[in-house]
Amino acid sequence: MASMFSSSKFSDSLTVVGVSLCSAVICEAISWILIYRTSSYKSLRSSIDKASRKLESMKTTTDSLKLTTKKSKTKKMDRVETSLKESSRDLFFFKFKSGAVVAIVLIVVFGLLNSLFEGKPVAKLPFTPIWIVKSMSHRGLQGSDLTDCSMAFLYFLCSISIRTNLQKFLGFAPPRGAANPGLFPMPDQKTS
Amino acid sequence: KSSMKESKSSFKQQQNNDQVSPFTYSKLFDPEADWDKDQLGDVLHWIRQLVGLFCGLFCGAVPLVGGIWVLGFLAISSGIIYGYYSLILKVDEEDFGGHGALLQEGLFASLTLFLLCWILGYSLAHF
């Protein structure tokens, strides 16, 4: 079976998958060293988990309360929500700084693969891609056969699927309660 | 009736937050088991990934050709997830953020995994 795959016209796709898998492992190792093992990350993560659980339980009990108790409960919920947003923002910026190193590794790996497979289809698509996908799936390829798959698209699929599941498996996935505040977070209307 | 359902739901949520049993494989098919949001979300995520893996390899091996199978995969995997949490686990989706929150667990990652397996299987087995 192995010889069947290696003699296939598109055996280069296995090289792309293999390189993507190795780079995902290296990136997670770098992230662990720079981010996940630090006490700052652990405390931020813990505070986000606690705040989101507290907010959930407060939301479910608020509906059945009297009006005066409801008002004070709503104020408490706003405070917890603000604290959750602040912790999420701190976590975002903390990961952002260290993520620059991971980004450099990914750019280098992509550049290496691009130099190896530029202009060469590495796989065949079993469907005709729509216009959004076409620009990536047919990137740098000659000819009009849109089912030829470039390294960029295959690498993109590998990156998303392998890295997401690897992070999930290792327990490095972002906490569910954390909202992504973006680079320019708006001030909280309720506390101003 | 609705206020009774709300108070039952809030009591169950409080219970969920305070004392949820740790994950064991026996919980996977137990409608009486207690789940918290993270545990259930993780289980649904991994079920979606397995469905994506098997569907992708199957579609690549046969082979099934055409973009319609992407929609087919989305429908099948969402149907499996919905059937699992509503018919087998019998959870109240309101306790976990509604149908949307449960159905989107692992959706994008499973779609990319399905596409990857489908493309690899098709390319390696038929060319």
**Mutation for B interface: A127, A130, A149, A168, most B CBs within 10 A:** A127
Band of residue A65 on the pLDDT scale cut at 50, 70, 90: low
Contact of B94 with B9, CB cutoff 8 Å: yes
pLDDT at residue B53, as a whole number? 97
Q: Which of A65, A74, A72, A50 is nearest to A175 (CA)?
A: A50
Q: How far apart are CA A36 and CA A109, in angstroms?
A: 23
Q: Using the beta-carbon criterion (under 8 Å), do B127 and A11 form an inter-chain contact? A: no
Q: What is the mean pLDDT of chain A?
A: 83
pLDDT at A183: 47
Kindly indicate the confidence band of residue A17, based on its pLDDT and cuts at 50, 70 and 90: very high
State yes or no: cis peptide before B63, omega within 30 of 0.
yes
Which residues in chain B (43-72) have CB-CB distances under 8 A to chain A?
45-46, 49, 59-60, 63-67, 69-70
Q: In degrees to the nearest 10, what's the CA dihedral of A68, A49, A176, B90?
A: -70
CA distances B103 to A52, B27, B40, B75, B107, Å, are: 20, 19, 11, 11, 7
Interchain proximity B127–A14, CB inside 8 Å: no
Domain residue ranges in chain A: 13-170
What pLDDT, on a 0 to 100 scale, did the predictor assign at position A87?
A: 84
Question: Cα–Cα distance between B111 and B96 in angstroms, integer?
Answer: 23
- Strand A148-149, strand A123-124: pairing: antiparallel
**What number of residues does chain A have?**
192
pTM: 0.81
Question: Which amino acid is it at A113?
Answer: L
The whole-angstrom separation of Cα A51 and Cα A179 is 12
Rounded CA-CA distance A178/A52 in Å is 8
E strand map for chain B: none
Average pLDDT over residues A126-151: 92
Q: Residue A40 — φ and ψ, nearest 5°?
A: -60, -45
- Which chain B residues contact residue A60 at CB under 8 A? 9-10, 13-14
- What is the reported pLDDT for A190? 45
Q: Which of A165, A166, A172 to mutate to test the interface with B (most CBs of B within 10 A)?
A: A165
Asked whether A70 and A123 are in contact (CB, 8 A), the reply is no
Q: Does residue B102 contact residue B81 with C-beta atoms inside 8 Å?
A: yes
Angle between helices A151-170 and A12-31 (to 10 degrees): 40
Q: Residue B88 contacts by C-beta under 8 Å, 6 or more apart in sequence?
A: B29, B31
* 10-residue stretch averages of pLDDT, chain B, 127 residues long: 48 52 82 86 95 97 96 97 94 88 94 97 93
Q: Could you tell me the end-to-end alpha-carbon distance of chain B, in angstroms, rounded to an integer? A: 62
pLDDT score of A178: 57
Q: What is the least distance, in Å, from the CA of B88 to any CA of chain A?
A: 24
Q: What does the angle CA A55 – CA A60 – CA A66 come to, to the nearest 5 degrees?
A: 110
Q: Which of A139-143, A170-174, B108-112 has the highest mean pLDDT?
A: B108-112
Range from A160-169, A177-186, B24-33 that averages highest in pLDDT: A160-169
Indicate the range of A10-14, A69-73, A85-89 predicted with least confidence: A69-73
The yes-or-no verdict on residue A184 having pLDDT over 70 is: no
- Per residue in A90-102, pLDDT tens? 888 888 877 888 8
Please enumerate in sequence order all residues whose Cβ is within 8 A of that of B107, keeping only pairs 6 or more positions apart, or say none: B48, B77, B78
State how far residue A129 is from chain B, nearest Cα, in angstroms: 8
The residue among A19 and B27 whose pLDDT is bigger is A19
B37 touches A: beta carbon within 8 Å: yes
- Pick B99 or A58 by higher pLDDT: B99
Per the CB < 8 A criterion, the answer to whether A158 and B116 are in contact is yes
What's the rounded mean pLDDT across residues A112-120? 92
- The answer to whether the beta carbons of residues A49 and A175 sit under 8 Å apart is yes
Spell out which residues of chain B touch residue A130, defining contact as CB-CB under 8 Å: 67
Q: Is the pLDDT of residue A182 over 60?
A: no
What Cα–Cα distance (Å) separates residue B126 from each residue in A12, A146, B99, B118, B120? 15, 17, 39, 12, 10
Q: A63 pLDDT band (50/70/90 cuts)? A: low
Where is average pLDDT lowest: A15-29, A150-164, B15-29, B39-53?
B15-29
- Inter-chain residue contact A124 with B14, CB threshold 8 Å: no
ipTM of the complex: 0.81
A185 or B72: which carries more pLDDT confidence? B72
- Between CA A101 and CA A119 the distance in angstroms is 29
